[in-house]
Structure 1
Amino acid sequence: MTPPALIWFRHDLRLADHPALTAALAGGGRVLPVFVLDDGAAGQWRPGGAARWWLKGSLAALSADLAARGAPLLLARGRAETVLPALAAATGAAEVHAGRVTDPWARDQARRVHEALADAGRALHLHTTMLLREPHLVANGSGRPYAVYTPFAKAMLAAGEPGIPLPAPAAIPGAEPPAGGEALESLGLYPVPGEPDWAAEFGARWQPGEAGAAARLARFTAAAIGRYATGRNRPGIEGSSGLSPHLRWGEVSPRQVWHAARAAGGSADIETWLKEILWREFSHHLLWHRPDMPDQCLRAEFRDFPWRADAALLAAWQRGRTGYPIVDAGMRQLWRTGWMHNRVRMIAASVLVKHLLQPWQDGAAWFWETLVDADLASNSASWQWVAGCGTDASPYFRVFNPVLQGEKFDPDGAYVRRWVPELAKLPDAVLHRPWEAPAELLRAAGVTPGATYPRPLVDPAEGRARALAALATLRGARGAA
């Protein structure tokens, strides 16, 4: 009799285009699907609160999809290198199939699982489930990792189109699970006992799971992708895909979204969207080769940057009380929905690290806790890009002016008025700079600067000047940028 195989779900919570699942089924035996919550291995990079809300919903959806095909999902909690060998022994499985994860802690985890299984005469097989191509297989002409996005993207495109996505199996012959699996509620993902239900509004916007990912992808390719090049920069409209949390949890694969975009046509808007997929790939490429990226500036000279860590300034930014309407709108959107528009993420991040001179790691930590799409590679790479300390970073002199950015990308004020309603009655001309509004306009709109809405924590011009002064203290900063 053919021994069963374990399929270990990690950051790939779907059934379609799942090479690890396909390989597990190819052996011809029964399959035991497993998810292991291993917070001990993840350490400080265990999913944040918003991500745990999403994970709970995603696991519920995956469990239902697997059960409908004949192989219920076994949930477990503990160290993967202990749990998986024990399950393999209990079921007689000779092989464990899983997707490769680029996070440093997950690489260490996979190594330990491999060693533990090998000691028992069993094997771990890792497959490409969360990226188009594995980072260690993409190199420049000298055989070295890429440090700059543009040549990386060109190399990825030159390598040819990604493979055609695999179909979801119609049926999965399930192996008898051993006793002792966890109930979803017992994993303690969300809500945390004794804590308020701060994610109460998430469900109105999001549908975790493979079906939710497919529906969102279909809506995006049918409507918004045709105007993506301009629409993606307008936070007041539905111009972006909203697929980031689905990609982060692997409810849809990058091959699926790539080919769905190609099928939608050949416009410049679609090419712009595909470049975003390649930026995600580049972020994982950087993390694979620079596992210190979540904590350390990739440019060594920036490790001496004269930050002015201030808990009060950080808290004001976190709560959407900076006095810059576009930033405050974004931070409030983040808290209410677990997501923030990408253009606004850049503006908000720039204000924190440049105008307020707060460490980028503090901003990244807040995003890690509050984003449903919190991805270690993308979060770290993007914060380093804004701070100017990444290998391919925003130029040192680029300091986003939050007023001009708001006026340019939210010209009719739709975004600010939605998330900062205390400013809703101000006319467009002063909406993004309420501290400059004439007294009569402020009275008519019911706005009292410093009372009903805060004054800016720092004047935009002053913030830019002191950011440049701080950057000028770094040896080689200009050349690095």
Structure 2
Amino acid sequence: MSKKIIVLFRNDLRLEDHPALWHAANMGAVLPVYIHNHQLQAHDKAQNYWTYYSLQNLQTTLHNYNMSLILRQGEVIAEVLRLALETQADAVYFNERFSQSERAEDERLTTLLQAHDIEVKTFYGDTLFDLTAILNQQNKPYAIFTSFYKRCLQELARKPLGCPATLTAFPMTVSSLALPQIQLLHGNWHDKFNNYWQPGEDGAIEQWTLFIESNVFDYKDKRDDLAKEKISKMSPFIAAGNISIRSLWTTCQELMEEEDNAIFGQQIESFLRQLIWREFSIYQLLHYPTFPTVSLRSNFQHFDWEPNAHRLEAWKKGQTGYPLVDAGMRELWETGYMHNRVRMVAASFLVKHLLQPWQEGYAWFEYTLLDFTAANNAMGWQWVSGTGIDSAPYFRIFNPSLQGEKFDSDGTYIKKWVPELAHLPSKYIHAPHTAPAAILEQAGITLGDTYPLPIVDHKTARARALARYDAIKKA
């Protein structure tokens, strides 16, 4: 007799290359399940929007297999056990997760199910490599990305599994909540995201196809050009598991083989490096479970931050007086996304210009980013702030105005997201406070009124930050 297997969907909302689903489909009847624990998640964070519409898309896709996605709400372990006993399931399959709380929950769930003689099988579905097996010659975790990257290139990435050929449903009716009943969406602030995104597996395939057919060819050379948007915009889809990271890797490798062009190969390799950077963030989360909340460099316990609610709020709202920073923060609020180059500048500004604890930035990004993951977010903030094991040098303090001149030379990106500066000549777009009064008047700008004056002076802020960093170096 074939088994009756519950497959838990979490941050893997897809059918293509879903190891738990694929193996379950080959072993027996399948019951796809998603359980939302609303008590553990912020009610209105941006990522809830993505989850909602990804689930909607998954429901539609499963319907093509004459299969329903069972939706439940509540404490996950109790709900899974209740469902397993209710359906007399033989097994529960799921793909592994990596944060400390997620792994602890999965361990408790496994123990409880096995105590009821219910088989549990787990699978790697979210990484290219078996990260637990990648250690240096001293049998310790790699601390430097470059060394980790070179080692990964020696490993064989797992091959994607594809979609199940067939899916057999449980031979019974199982009760399910309707999607709106699991209370993912609250209010209407997320409605604006519909103007920019199509969450779900179908949207992921469409976005990936667009990138592969156009932007990948000059990704390395143009990805930091803010006006051209030569980026993949795959990160929200990857975060929700709408598309398999292994599928992306395999497609890129195949493209390189087909083209057999050194210049084109460099463009692709630049993108593949970003995928391994993601692996490195998960790798650090596995080895340092407190990574999202605690600085990995212990001397930062003594860093003299200056928490300031007013400055933090100005940063969140894009009202710092530094146009590139403000454009990025407004893009984030409007679209749930921010270009990676601007993320680095905005994050550096919060930590080094304003001396706000990096955890404050982490929390705001967790609330507003559609592509939020604990690993990637922690990696970004600890890299920028210099608190991580492999971080930007402490003395690298981005000058927002110079960064704007370099990556948005004529101010196209800034004018899109900071429209009150739209009529300012490009010569002054990166530092409006340096523009003559007549130019400002002609552009309809009143500094301190229609657009803020800089909340800190770059030169003064830079000197102050370097002094603080120097103090903990000597501590």
Q: Does the alignment pair 1:116 with 2:115? A: no
Q: Does the alignment pair 1:173 with 2:164? A: no
**Superposition deviation, residue 206 in structure 1:** 0.6
**Superposition deviation, residue 12 in structure 1:** 0.8
| 1:279 paired residue number | 277
**Superposition deviation, residue 171 in structure 1:** 2.7
CA contact (8 A) 1:224 1:240 kept: yes
| 1:236 paired residue number | 227
| 1:246 paired residue number | 237
Aligned counterpart for 1:141 among listed residues 126, 134, 137: 137
Q: Structure 2 stretches of 5 or more lacking a match?
A: 257-263
Larger mean Cα displacement after TM superposition, 75-84 or 113-122: 75-84
Q: Does the alignment pair 1:224 with 2:220? A: no
- Matches of 2:453 and 2:148, distance apart in 1: 43
CA contact (8 A) 1:32 1:177 kept: no
- Matches of 2:171 and 2:308, distance apart in 1: 55
**Superposition deviation, residue 48 in structure 1:** 6.1
Q: Does the alignment pair 1:126 with 2:122? A: yes
**Superposition deviation, residue 476 in structure 1:** 4.9
Q: TM-score, normalised by structure 1?
A: 0.95
CA contact (8 A) 1:47 1:369 kept: no
The amino acid that maps onto 1:30 is A
- Matches of 2:20 and 2:116, distance apart in 1: 21
**Superposition deviation, residue 164 in structure 1:** 2.8
Q: Could you give the per-residue CA deviations for residues 106-158 of structure 1, whole angstroms, max 9, x where no partner exists?
A: 10110111011011011221101111123212211222112211111111111
- Matches of 1:19 and 1:311, distance apart in 2: 45
**Superposition deviation, residue 70 in structure 1:** 2.1
The amino acid that maps onto 1:279 is W
Larger mean Cα displacement after TM superposition, 210-219 or 259-268: 259-268
SS of 2:3's equivalent in the other structure is: coil
The amino acid that maps onto 1:173 is T
- Matches of 1:360 and 1:179, distance apart in 2: 45
SS of 2:35's equivalent in the other structure is: strand
**Superposition deviation, residue 10 in structure 1:** 1.3
| 1:20 paired residue number | 20
- Matches of 2:420 and 2:255, distance apart in 1: 41
CA contact (8 A) 1:50 1:369 kept: yes
| 1:211 paired residue number | 202
SS of 2:51's equivalent in the other structure is: helix
**Superposition deviation, residue 178 in structure 1:** 5.2
SS of 2:364's equivalent in the other structure is: helix
Q: Does the alignment pair 1:291 with 2:286? A: no
| 1:105 paired residue number | 101
- Matches of 1:204 and 1:446, distance apart in 2: 29
The amino acid that maps onto 1:384 is Q
Q: Does the alignment pair 1:318 with 2:316? A: yes
| 2:260 paired residue number | none
Shift of the 290–86 alpha-carbon distance from structure 1 to 2, 3 Å rule, reads: same
Q: Does the alignment pair 1:163 with 2:158? A: yes
Q: Structure 1 stretches of 5 or more lacking a match?
A: none
**Superposition deviation, residue 449 in structure 1:** 1.2
The amino acid that maps onto 1:131 is T
Aligned counterpart for 1:430 among listed residues 420, 428, 431: 428
| 2:261 paired residue number | none
**Superposition deviation, residue 182 in structure 1:** 1.7
CA contact (8 A) 1:321 1:328 kept: yes
Aligned counterpart for 1:188 among listed residues 183, 199, 202: 183
**Superposition deviation, residue 39 in structure 1:** 4.2
The amino acid that maps onto 2:167 is I
SS of 1:201's equivalent in the other structure is: helix
SS of 1:449's equivalent in the other structure is: coil
Shift of the 177–237 alpha-carbon distance from structure 1 to 2, 3 Å rule, reads: farther
CA contact (8 A) 1:326 1:402 kept: yes
How many residues get paired?
Answer: 468
CA contact (8 A) 1:47 1:368 kept: no
Aligned counterpart for 2:76 among listed residues 76, 80, 88: 80
Aligned counterpart for 1:449 among listed residues 447, 450, 472: 447
| 1:348 paired residue number | 346
Q: Could you give the per-residue CA deviations for residues 47-69 of structure 1, whole angstroms, max 9, x where no partner exists?
A: 86110010000001111111211
SS of 2:71's equivalent in the other structure is: strand
CA contact (8 A) 2:384 2:391 kept: yes
Shift of the 69–247 alpha-carbon distance from structure 1 to 2, 3 Å rule, reads: same
SS of 1:200's equivalent in the other structure is: helix
CA contact (8 A) 1:113 1:124 kept: no
Q: Could you give the per-residue CA deviations for residues 270-292 of structure 1, whole angstroms, max 9, x where no partner exists?
A: 10000000000000000011110
CA contact (8 A) 2:81 2:113 kept: yes
**Superposition deviation, residue 444 in structure 1:** 1.2
Q: Does the alignment pair 1:32 with 2:31? A: yes
The amino acid that maps onto 1:376 is A
- Matches of 1:12 and 1:323, distance apart in 2: 40
| 1:258 paired residue number | 249
- Matches of 1:177 and 1:402, distance apart in 2: 60
The amino acid that maps onto 1:263 is E
Q: Could you give the per-residue CA deviations for residues 442-467 of structure 1, whole angstroms, max 9, x where no partner exists?
A: 11111111111001110111111111
Q: CA RMSD in A?
A: 1.4
- Matches of 1:92 and 1:110, distance apart in 2: 20
The amino acid that maps onto 2:425 is P
- Matches of 2:231 and 2:474, distance apart in 1: 37
Identity among equivalent pairs (%): 41
- Matches of 1:394 and 1:329, distance apart in 2: 23
**Superposition deviation, residue 432 in structure 1:** 0.2
**Superposition deviation, residue 180 in structure 1:** 3.7
CA contact (8 A) 1:31 1:175 kept: yes
